[in-house]
Amino acid sequence: MKNLLFICYFFFSIHSLYPQSRSESIAITGNVEIPLNLTIKDLQQMNVVSGTDFKVVNTSGEIRKEFKTYKGVLLNELLDKAKIVLQSPKEKGKIYFVATATDGYTAIFSYHEIFNNPAGDKVLVLFEENGKTIDKDGVFVLIAGTDKITGARHVKWLKSIEVKKL
């Protein structure tokens, strides 16, 4: 009986390390005028940014993954399309964005970081890596290209971006 319990525990523990589902679209919701549900085709019709040599680095400095080439859309362009609701310009300091994966992993970005800082020009939602559509890590991946530890906000299996206000 103990062996059976151990096997069940092991199976479910390993299974929980992987996302339960892939998201075929990205929902942009929350404090926006136009909630969006975007597919790869939608992103491909937007202003596509191409890049080379992006490394996913963990807190130990290890390179966990490398993109020789990638294609995606800037997060700020997606948010502009959804039209963030602001009652006054002073509210910009209270706005933040939560990127969430199908497995519950999250990364947070501030309004000023995305729209008023050069770092925002390197935060992308990718749909292609190394010349192919993304498959192993879901359909969409979010990267923050200027982070020192790029792995911390590398969101695989991206399913949603929620606009929130403090």
Tens of pLDDT, residues 17-45 = 554 577 789 999 999 999 999 999 999 99
Please report the pLDDT score of residue 2 as a whole number. 52
CA distance 81 to 75: 10
Q: Is residue 107 classed as helix, strand or coil in its secondary structure? A: strand
Superfamily of the domain at 22-165: Oxidoreductase, molybdopterin-binding domain (3.90.420.10)
What do you get for the CA distance between the two ends of the chain, in Å?
A: 51
- With tokens 């192993």, the residue in question is 136
User: For residue 129, what are the CA distances in angstroms to 61, 70, 134, 137?
Assistant: 22, 4, 6, 10
Whole-number average pLDDT of the chain: 86
Lowest mean pLDDT among 64-68, 134-138, 158-162: 134-138
The average pLDDT across 107-130 equals 94
Over residues 42-68, the pLDDT tens digits come to 999 999 999 888 888 888 888 898 889
pLDDT of residue 155 exceeding 80, the answer is yes
Confidence at 4, pLDDT banded by 50, 70, 90: very low
Question: What is the DSSP track for 4-48?
Answer: HHHHHHHHHHHHTTS-S---SSEEEEESBSS-EEE-HHHHHTS--
Do strands 26-30 and 158-165 pair parallel, antiparallel, or not at all (unpaired)? parallel
- With tokens 């400095």, the residue in question is 61
